[in-house]
Amino acid sequence: MRYIVGAGYLLVINAVSFCMMYIDKQRAIRHKWRISEKALFVSALLGGSLGSILGMRMFRHKTRHWYFVWGIPFILVVQILILLGSWYVGEYGTRLFSML
């Protein structure tokens, strides 16, 4: 059950991040009020890094800013490592700690 909730959360936050990139791009084209870069990064940090990357590529948005080009993929790599690390500890950690 917790995997379904986690997968649902990731699906929603990535969809939100993707849509934020689209909305910000449309507002940039129309010279209107924009979504802050901080908000775009926060959505990526909350688990929406894949959606942010897809939005950046699909809409050609924020691709000239090095901190987006390198920062968002870095966040994704860290999130994957955390996910794999938590799985590993959950799977093998109890046996490891019981041996101590």
Write the CA distances from 52 to 7, 38, 39, integer angstroms. Answer: 17, 13, 11
Biggest alpha carbon–alpha carbon distance for the chain: 62
CA distance 29 to 68: 19
Give pLDDT, residue 99. Answer: 56
pLDDT per position as a tens digit, 37-57? 999 999 999 999 999 999 999
Assess contact for 16 and 52: CB atoms under 8 A: no
Of residues 29, 16, 7, 19, the one with CA closest to residue 58: 19
pLDDT per position as a tens digit, 85-94? 888 877 666 6
In the numeric block, the tokens 């809409």 are attached to: 59
Q: Would you list the domain boundaries of the chain?
A: 2-99
Q: What is the token pair recorded at 48? A: 């929406």
Instruction: List Cβ neighbours of 54 (8 Å cut-off, separation of 6 or more).
Output: 14, 18
C-alpha radius of gyration, the chain, whole number: 17
